Chains A and B, each alone.
Chain A
Protein backbone atom coordinates (compact mmCIF):
# COMPACT_ATOMS: atom_id res chain seq x y z
CA UNK A 1 0.00 0.00 0.00
CA UNK A 2 2.02 2.87 -1.28
CA UNK A 3 1.33 6.42 -0.22
CA UNK A 4 3.43 7.78 -3.04
CA UNK A 5 1.38 9.38 -5.80
CA UNK A 6 1.14 7.50 -9.05
CA UNK A 7 3.70 8.08 -11.72
CA UNK A 8 2.33 10.46 -14.37
CA UNK A 9 1.99 8.99 -17.86
CA UNK A 10 5.06 9.53 -20.02
CA UNK A 11 6.16 8.93 -23.58
CA UNK A 12 9.36 7.58 -25.10
CA UNK A 13 10.00 8.16 -28.81
CA UNK A 14 12.83 6.79 -30.93
CA UNK A 15 13.60 6.43 -34.61
CA UNK A 16 13.72 2.80 -35.75
CA UNK A 17 17.26 1.37 -35.96
CA UNK A 18 19.26 -1.55 -34.67
CA UNK A 19 20.38 0.39 -31.60
CA UNK A 20 17.00 2.12 -31.10
CA UNK A 21 15.70 -0.73 -28.98
CA UNK A 22 18.43 -0.32 -26.37
CA UNK A 23 17.88 3.43 -26.31
CA UNK A 24 14.10 3.08 -25.90
CA UNK A 25 14.44 0.46 -23.14
CA UNK A 26 16.89 2.64 -21.24
CA UNK A 27 14.59 5.67 -21.46
CA UNK A 28 11.58 3.58 -20.44
CA UNK A 29 13.32 2.08 -17.40
CA UNK A 30 14.69 5.51 -16.44
CA UNK A 31 11.13 6.85 -16.63
CA UNK A 32 9.94 4.06 -14.34
CA UNK A 33 12.66 4.62 -11.73
CA UNK A 34 10.27 6.49 -9.34
CA UNK A 35 8.34 3.20 -8.97
CA UNK A 36 11.47 1.43 -7.59
CA UNK A 37 10.63 -1.81 -9.40
CA UNK A 38 12.44 -4.88 -8.07
CA UNK A 39 14.71 -6.87 -10.37
CA UNK A 40 11.93 -9.35 -11.19
CA UNK A 41 9.53 -6.58 -12.23
CA UNK A 42 12.03 -4.49 -14.18
CA UNK A 43 13.20 -7.69 -15.91
CA UNK A 44 9.62 -8.37 -17.02
CA UNK A 45 9.20 -4.83 -18.38
CA UNK A 46 12.54 -4.91 -20.20
CA UNK A 47 11.99 -8.35 -21.67
CA UNK A 48 8.45 -7.80 -22.96
CA UNK A 49 9.26 -4.40 -24.40
CA UNK A 50 12.52 -5.64 -25.95
CA UNK A 51 10.57 -8.34 -27.79
CA UNK A 52 7.85 -5.92 -28.92
CA UNK A 53 10.39 -3.37 -30.14
CA UNK A 54 12.68 -5.94 -31.78
CA UNK A 55 9.67 -7.12 -33.78
CA UNK A 56 8.98 -3.58 -34.98
CA UNK A 57 12.60 -2.95 -35.99
CA UNK A 58 12.79 -6.30 -37.75
CA UNK A 59 9.35 -6.63 -39.37
CA UNK A 60 7.55 -3.26 -39.41
CA UNK A 61 10.63 -1.39 -40.62
CA UNK A 62 12.59 -4.16 -42.37
CA UNK A 63 15.97 -3.51 -43.94
CA UNK A 64 15.44 -1.65 -47.19
CA UNK A 65 12.40 0.28 -45.94
CA UNK A 66 12.92 3.79 -44.63
CA UNK A 67 13.27 4.08 -40.85
CA UNK A 68 10.36 5.59 -38.96
CA UNK A 69 9.15 6.57 -35.52
CA UNK A 70 8.38 4.24 -32.61
CA UNK A 71 6.34 5.90 -29.87
CA UNK A 72 5.80 4.26 -26.50
CA UNK A 73 3.28 5.58 -23.99
CA UNK A 74 3.46 4.29 -20.44
CA UNK A 75 0.73 4.75 -17.83
CA UNK A 76 0.86 3.46 -14.27
CA UNK A 77 -2.36 2.43 -12.57
CA UNK A 78 -3.70 0.18 -9.85
CA UNK A 79 -3.58 -2.80 -12.22
CA UNK A 80 0.02 -2.23 -13.25
CA UNK A 81 1.63 -0.62 -16.25
CA UNK A 82 -0.29 0.00 -19.44
CA UNK A 83 2.02 0.30 -22.41
CA UNK A 84 1.08 1.37 -25.91
CA UNK A 85 3.50 1.12 -28.82
CA UNK A 86 2.76 2.91 -32.11
CA UNK A 87 4.79 2.69 -35.31
CA UNK A 88 4.22 3.66 -38.93
CA UNK A 89 5.79 0.60 -40.53
CA UNK A 90 4.34 -2.46 -42.24
CA UNK A 91 1.36 -4.15 -40.62
CA UNK A 92 1.26 -7.64 -39.16
CA UNK A 93 0.56 -10.34 -41.74
CA UNK A 94 -3.19 -11.23 -41.55
CA UNK A 95 -3.71 -8.19 -39.34
CA UNK A 96 -3.01 -10.05 -36.12
CA UNK A 97 -0.11 -10.93 -33.85
CA UNK A 98 1.40 -14.41 -34.01
CA UNK A 99 -0.14 -16.88 -31.56
CA UNK A 100 3.06 -17.17 -29.56
CA UNK A 101 2.77 -20.89 -28.86
CA UNK A 102 5.50 -22.55 -26.84
CA UNK A 103 8.24 -24.10 -29.00
CA UNK A 104 8.54 -27.87 -29.20
CA UNK A 105 11.87 -28.74 -27.58
CA UNK A 106 11.41 -32.49 -27.80
CA UNK A 107 13.43 -32.65 -31.02
CA UNK A 108 16.92 -33.58 -32.20
CA UNK A 109 19.67 -31.09 -31.52
CA UNK A 110 19.85 -30.03 -35.17
CA UNK A 111 16.12 -29.14 -35.12
CA UNK A 112 16.27 -27.16 -31.87
CA UNK A 113 14.48 -23.82 -32.47
CA UNK A 114 16.67 -20.71 -32.58
CA UNK A 115 13.78 -18.29 -32.91
CA UNK A 116 10.08 -17.85 -32.41
CA UNK A 117 10.36 -17.19 -28.68
CA UNK A 118 9.53 -13.49 -28.86
CA UNK A 119 5.74 -13.60 -29.07
CA UNK A 120 5.66 -16.51 -26.64
CA UNK A 121 7.46 -14.36 -24.04
CA UNK A 122 5.21 -11.36 -24.71
CA UNK A 123 1.99 -13.37 -24.37
CA UNK A 124 3.29 -15.31 -21.37
CA UNK A 125 4.34 -12.23 -19.40
CA UNK A 126 1.88 -9.54 -20.55
CA UNK A 127 -1.89 -9.28 -20.08
CA UNK A 128 -4.54 -7.73 -22.33
CA UNK A 129 -2.38 -7.81 -25.47
CA UNK A 130 -4.22 -6.11 -28.34
CA UNK A 131 -3.07 -5.17 -31.82
CA UNK A 132 -4.84 -2.96 -34.35
CA UNK A 133 -3.80 -1.64 -37.70
CA UNK A 134 -4.94 1.99 -37.83
CA UNK A 135 -3.64 3.06 -41.24
CA UNK A 136 -0.88 3.97 -41.56
CA UNK A 137 -0.01 2.90 -38.02
CA UNK A 138 0.36 -0.24 -35.95
CA UNK A 139 -1.06 0.03 -32.43
CA UNK A 140 0.06 -2.55 -29.88
CA UNK A 141 -1.24 -2.30 -26.32
CA UNK A 142 -0.48 -4.48 -23.34
CA UNK A 143 -0.53 -4.49 -19.57
CA UNK A 144 2.16 -5.66 -17.21
CA UNK A 145 1.07 -6.67 -13.72
CA UNK A 146 3.93 -4.92 -11.93
CA UNK A 147 3.98 -2.10 -9.38
CA UNK A 148 0.35 -2.85 -8.50
CA UNK A 149 -1.36 -0.88 -5.76
Chain B
Protein backbone atom coordinates (compact mmCIF):
# COMPACT_ATOMS: atom_id res chain seq x y z
CA UNK B 1 0.00 0.00 0.00
CA UNK B 2 1.72 3.15 -1.24
CA UNK B 3 0.80 6.21 0.85
CA UNK B 4 2.67 9.48 0.35
CA UNK B 5 2.58 12.24 2.91
CA UNK B 6 3.34 15.93 2.59
CA UNK B 7 2.68 19.06 4.62
CA UNK B 8 0.71 22.04 3.39
CA UNK B 9 0.87 24.78 6.04
CA UNK B 10 -1.32 23.53 8.90
CA UNK B 11 -2.40 20.41 7.02
CA UNK B 12 -1.04 16.99 6.36
CA UNK B 13 -1.98 15.50 3.00
CA UNK B 14 -1.87 11.72 2.65
CA UNK B 15 -2.21 10.56 -0.96
CA UNK B 16 -3.09 6.96 -1.77
CA UNK B 17 -1.06 5.78 -4.79
CA UNK B 18 -3.07 2.62 -5.34
CA UNK B 19 -6.18 2.03 -7.41
CA UNK B 20 -8.00 -0.13 -4.85
CA UNK B 21 -8.65 -0.17 -1.12
CA UNK B 22 -10.34 -3.55 -0.81
CA UNK B 23 -10.44 -6.56 1.52
CA UNK B 24 -7.06 -7.76 0.23
CA UNK B 25 -5.26 -4.62 1.47
CA UNK B 26 -7.58 -3.19 4.15
CA UNK B 27 -5.37 -4.19 7.09
CA UNK B 28 -2.23 -3.00 5.32
CA UNK B 29 -3.95 0.32 4.57
CA UNK B 30 -5.04 0.71 8.20
CA UNK B 31 -1.47 0.13 9.44
CA UNK B 32 0.01 2.49 6.84
CA UNK B 33 -2.50 5.20 7.80
CA UNK B 34 -1.57 4.79 11.46
CA UNK B 35 2.12 5.27 10.65
CA UNK B 36 1.41 8.26 8.41
CA UNK B 37 -0.90 10.11 10.79
CA UNK B 38 0.59 9.36 14.23
CA UNK B 39 2.04 12.57 15.60
CA UNK B 40 0.89 14.51 12.55
CA UNK B 41 -1.12 17.69 12.20
CA UNK B 42 -4.57 18.20 13.65
CA UNK B 43 -6.23 18.02 10.24
CA UNK B 44 -5.32 15.31 7.77
CA UNK B 45 -6.60 15.30 4.20
CA UNK B 46 -6.80 11.84 2.64
CA UNK B 47 -6.38 12.27 -1.11
CA UNK B 48 -8.33 9.44 -2.79
CA UNK B 49 -8.15 10.76 -6.36
CA UNK B 50 -6.16 7.74 -7.62
CA UNK B 51 -8.46 5.21 -5.93
CA UNK B 52 -10.94 3.76 -8.41
CA UNK B 53 -12.53 1.16 -6.15
CA UNK B 54 -13.27 0.68 -2.49
CA UNK B 55 -15.33 -2.06 -0.83
CA UNK B 56 -16.87 -2.24 2.64
CA UNK B 57 -13.56 -3.50 4.10
CA UNK B 58 -11.76 -0.47 2.69
CA UNK B 59 -14.49 1.80 4.01
CA UNK B 60 -14.10 0.17 7.44
CA UNK B 61 -10.33 0.76 7.29
CA UNK B 62 -10.84 4.49 6.61
CA UNK B 63 -13.30 4.67 9.54
CA UNK B 64 -10.72 2.88 11.72
CA UNK B 65 -8.07 5.42 10.68
CA UNK B 66 -10.36 8.27 11.69
CA UNK B 67 -11.13 6.64 15.04
CA UNK B 68 -7.44 6.06 15.68
CA UNK B 69 -6.73 9.79 15.15
CA UNK B 70 -9.18 10.54 17.95
CA UNK B 71 -11.87 13.07 18.70
CA UNK B 72 -9.59 16.13 18.66
CA UNK B 73 -8.32 15.63 15.09
CA UNK B 74 -10.08 15.70 11.73
CA UNK B 75 -9.77 13.33 8.78
CA UNK B 76 -11.08 14.97 5.61
CA UNK B 77 -11.53 13.06 2.35
CA UNK B 78 -10.77 14.56 -1.05
CA UNK B 79 -10.99 13.55 -4.70
CA UNK B 80 -13.56 10.78 -4.51
CA UNK B 81 -13.93 8.98 -7.84
CA UNK B 82 -17.45 7.80 -8.84
CA UNK B 83 -17.49 4.32 -7.26
CA UNK B 84 -15.74 5.49 -4.09
CA UNK B 85 -18.25 8.33 -3.81
CA UNK B 86 -21.09 5.84 -4.29
CA UNK B 87 -19.93 3.72 -1.33
CA UNK B 88 -19.72 6.74 0.96
CA UNK B 89 -23.12 8.04 -0.17
CA UNK B 90 -25.01 4.73 0.11
CA UNK B 91 -23.66 3.97 3.59
CA UNK B 92 -24.22 7.62 4.63
CA UNK B 93 -20.59 7.74 5.72
CA UNK B 94 -20.37 10.98 3.72
CA UNK B 95 -22.16 12.55 6.71
CA UNK B 96 -19.45 11.39 9.14
CA UNK B 97 -16.44 12.74 7.22
CA UNK B 98 -15.77 16.13 5.65
CA UNK B 99 -15.86 15.18 1.97
CA UNK B 100 -14.41 17.41 -0.76
CA UNK B 101 -14.80 16.69 -4.48
CA UNK B 102 -11.19 17.77 -5.20
CA UNK B 103 -7.92 18.06 -3.27
CA UNK B 104 -7.58 21.72 -4.33
CA UNK B 105 -11.04 22.42 -2.94
CA UNK B 106 -10.16 20.75 0.35
CA UNK B 107 -6.90 22.71 0.67
CA UNK B 108 -8.63 26.01 -0.11
CA UNK B 109 -11.24 25.33 2.55
CA UNK B 110 -9.04 23.88 5.28
CA UNK B 111 -5.74 25.79 4.98
CA UNK B 112 -5.19 28.66 7.33
| Chain A residues packing against B (C-beta within 8 Å) | 18-19, 21-22, 39-40, 43-44, 46-47, 50-51, 54, 57-58, 102-103, 105, 109-110, 112-118, 120-121, 124-125
Contact = CB atoms under 8 A, between A and B. Distances in A.
The A contact surface, by secondary structure, is helix
Interface string B53-73: 101110111011011001100
Contacts of A116: 56
Given A46-B53, A50-B23, 18 more contacts: A21-B23, A22-B22, A22-B24, A39-B83, A43-B82, A47-B83, A47-B87, A50-B22, A50-B55, A58-B23, A102-B91, A105-B95, A109-B67, A114-B63, A115-B57, A118-B55, A121-B90, A121-B91
9 smallest CB-CB distances across A and B, nearest first, come from A43-B83, A117-B56, A114-B60, A118-B56, A50-B55, A54-B23, A114-B63, A39-B82, A115-B60
Nearest to A53: B23
Contacts of B70: 109
A125 B23 contact: no
A57 B23 contact: yes
B92 interface: yes
B96 interface: yes
Contacts of B91: 102-103, 117, 120-121
B86 interface: yes
Contact of B66 (A18, A40, A44, A112): A112
A27 to B, nearest CB: 15
30 contacts: A18-B23, A21-B23, A39-B82, A39-B83, A43-B83, A43-B86, A46-B53, A47-B83, A47-B87, A51-B55, A102-B91, A103-B91, A103-B92, A105-B92, A105-B93, A109-B70, A112-B63, A112-B66, A112-B67, A113-B60, A114-B64, A115-B56, A115-B60, A117-B60, A117-B87, A120-B91, A121-B87, A121-B90, A121-B91, A124-B90
